[in-house]
Amino acid sequence: MPYRVFEEYNIEVTSNVQENYKSVIESLGEDVTREGLIKTPERAAKAMQFLTSGYDQDPAEILRGAMFAEDYRDMVIIKDIELYSLCEHHMLPFFGKAHIAYIPDGHIVGLSKIPRIVDVFSRRLQVQERLTHDILECIHTTLKPQGVAVVIEAAHMCMMMRGVQKQNSYTTTSGFRGQFEKVETRSEFLNLISSNLH
């Protein structure tokens, strides 16, 4: 059976973006009729729709759809969540891991929903600082826990491929709300995400 992928794309958006990519490729001096490039504008248009599909999703609704009443009031940590996003300044990728914790206050959320909201916010044109804040505030305002912590570590292709061209630099951003603003709680979280428990 041949390999098949079922994906849905907005036909009008695909057509418009495809034409723009074709123009860009031609402006850079390439021949868009060359065998290797004939389908590139269409592929790029579809790729960009996927990479920015977070605009069409409501992360708060994702959380609300999997909230459960539970009298658990200790720290819940999901660490090493892979993320891939596009820097809004150069539209080049940045990628890394998110580490997220919350302390429930009467409600927990299905564990898969935390990585899903990371994906929703990542699949938009972003800066790492805002991505960290968006995830933090969404969990804080929707789940209303006793506290939330978010740490993101990422490598940025705009620093690695162009500009300063530093290959081994990583950017770390963090945000804390509620109980995690206390030094001892924040330290426990940072120690746990640094340890190799699994």
Q: Which of the residues 57, 107, 137, 158 is marked catalytic?
A: 158
Q: Which of the residues 18, 49, 126, 128 is marked catalytic?
A: 128
Answer yes or no: 88 catalytic. yes
Counting Cβ atoms within 10 Å, is residue 88 exposed (0-12), middle (13-18) or buried (19+)?
exposed
CA dist 54 and 51 (Å) reads: 8
What tokens appear for 24 in the block?
């860009």
Answer yes or no: 89 catalytic. yes
Answer yes or no: 107 catalytic. no
Q: Which of the residues 18, 99, 138, 156 is marked catalytic?
A: 156
Q: Which of the residues 19, 30, 82, 88 is marked catalytic?
A: 88
Question: Where do the DSSP E strands lie in 48-158?
Answer: 67-69, 76-87, 93-103, 107-109, 125-126, 147-156
Answer yes or no: 129 catalytic. no
Q: Which of the residues 30, 70, 89, 129 is marked catalytic?
A: 89
Answer yes or no: 156 catalytic. yes
Start-end of H helices in 33-105: 40-51, 59-64
Q: Which of the residues 26, 42, 57, 90 is marked catalytic?
A: 90
Q: Which of the residues 18, 87, 126, 140 is marked catalytic?
A: 87
Give Cβ neighbours of residue 41 (< 8 Å, ≥ 6 apart).
18, 19, 21, 22, 25, 32
Q: Which are the catalytic amino acids?
A: 87-90, 128, 156, 158
